[in-house]
Amino acid sequence: MTEADPAAGPGDTGNAVPAGASNLTLRIVSALIMAPVAILAAYFGDWPFTVFWGLCAIAVLWEWTTLVTGPGHRLMFSGGAAALAAAAFVAWLHRPIAALALIGLGALAGAIFAPRERRVWVIAGVGYAGVMLLAPMLLRDDVVYGLFAILLLFAVVWSTDIFAYFAGRTFGGPKLCPAISPKKTWSGAIAGILGAMAVSLALEHYFFAALNGLAIALVALVLSVLSQGGDLLESWVKRRFGAKDASHLIPGHGGVMDRLDGFWAAAFAACLIGLVRGGFDGAARGLLVW
C-alpha cells in the first residue's frame, strides 16, 4: 500500500492532517466505486469475472514492468499481456493447466526482451500478474462454494485494511516493519486480523451456516496475516525501485498493485490450500470445507 496504507500509525501534524483527510476521502470514494464492481463480477461469475480479473492482471503487469524497467517496456509488456489474455480465455474454458503453461510462455517472452539485469524481475512480474488472474478464477470455478470463497477473500482483505487503518491511527505504538513500511503498527496489524476473523464468521453464519465456524475463523486468520505480508512485499518492491506508488490509476490508492497487493497474497494462499485439498475441480471446497 501507499504511505497512507491501512496499517499506518497516527498521521503527522501540521499540513499532513488535511492532506491525510483528503487522501482518505479519495480512498473512500474510489472504494465505493470499485467494491460493487468487484462484487458484481464475482456474483455473475463466468465471462464478467474473467474479464474483470484479466484486466486487473494486465494492469498489474503494466505497473510492474514500468516499475522495474522504466517506460521503454512495450515489447516486454505486450508479450506478457497477450499471454495473460490468452490464459484468461483458456481458464474460462476450464483448462487451468493450459492457462498455467501460457503464463509460463508469457514470462519467457518477457525475459527475451528484458535487459539482462532485469530478467528475473520481469519473469517475477508475469508470475505475479498470473497469480492475480488465476487464483480467483480457480476458486470461483467451484459451482457450489466459488462465490462464497471470493466473498470471503474480499471480507478478509477489506476488513483487515479497514480495522488496521483505524486501529493504527487510534492506538499507534510499536512499528510492524519500519525498514519497509515506516507507518505500519503492530496495533493495526493485530486489529486487522481480529476484525477479519469477526467479519468472516459473520459472513459464514449468514451465507453458509453449515460450515465449520472455527475452521473459517482460522482460515481468515491465516489469510489476514498473509494479506498484510503481501502489502509488505509490494512495499519492499516499490522501495527497491524508489517508487511511492505503483502508478496513479486509482485516486487515493495509487495503482492497481497498491490496491490488490493484500488480495494477491491472500488469494494465492487460499488457492494453494484449495488445490491441495480439493484439486482443480474443487479448490473453493478444499478451502472452506474442513
pLDDT at residue 245 is higher than 60: yes
For residue 6, how many C-alpha atoms fall within 13 Å in the half-sphere facing its CB? Answer: 28
pLDDT at residue 1 is higher than 80: no
Q: Each residue of 273-285: pLDDT tens digit?
A: 999 999 999 999 9
Lowest mean pLDDT among 33-42, 78-87, 155-164, 252-261: 252-261
pLDDT value of residue 28: 77
Interatomic CA distance for residues 38 and 264, integer angstroms: 14
Q: Which three cell numbers stand for residue 171?
A: 492506538
Q: Each residue of 138-194: pLDDT tens digit?
A: 999 999 999 999 999 999 999 999 999 999 989 989 999 988 988 899 999 999 999
Interatomic CA distance for residues 13 and 164, integer angstroms: 20
Interatomic CA distance for residues 19 and 142, integer angstroms: 44
pLDDT band per the 50, 70, 90 thresholds, residue 23? low
Inter-helix orientation angle 46-69/256-278, to 10°:
120
Q: Each residue of 215-224: pLDDT tens digit?
A: 999 999 999 9
Q: Quote the mean pLDDT of the chain.
A: 88
* Average pLDDT of span 12-16: 39
Run of H or E including 185: strand 181-185
pLDDT at residue 47 is higher than 50: yes
pLDDT value of residue 106: 94
pLDDT value of residue 249: 81
Three-class SS state of 25: helix
Are 9 and 175 contacting, i.e. CB atoms less than 8 angstroms apart?
yes
Are 9 and 176 contacting, i.e. CB atoms less than 8 angstroms apart?
no
Interatomic CA distance for residues 108 and 130, integer angstroms: 13
Interatomic CA distance for residues 145 and 151, integer angstroms: 10
pLDDT value of residue 134: 98
pLDDT value of residue 59: 95
> What 8-state DSSP symbol labels residue 177?
E
> What 8-state DSSP symbol labels residue 176?
E
Interatomic CA distance for residues 47 and 88, integer angstroms: 9
Are 73 and 118 contacting, i.e. CB atoms less than 8 angstroms apart?
no
Interatomic CA distance for residues 189 and 225, integer angstroms: 8
Fill in the amino acid letter for 27. R
Q: Would you call 162 exposed, middle or buried from its count of C-beta atoms within 10 A (0-12, 13-18, 19+)?
A: middle
Q: Are strands 175-177 and 181-185 parallel, antiparallel or unpaired?
A: antiparallel
Considering just the CA atoms, what is the radius of gyration of the chain in Å? 19
pLDDT value of residue 258: 87
Q: Each residue of 53-104: pLDDT tens digit?
A: 999 999 999 999 999 888 777 878 888 999 999 999 999 999 999 999 999 9
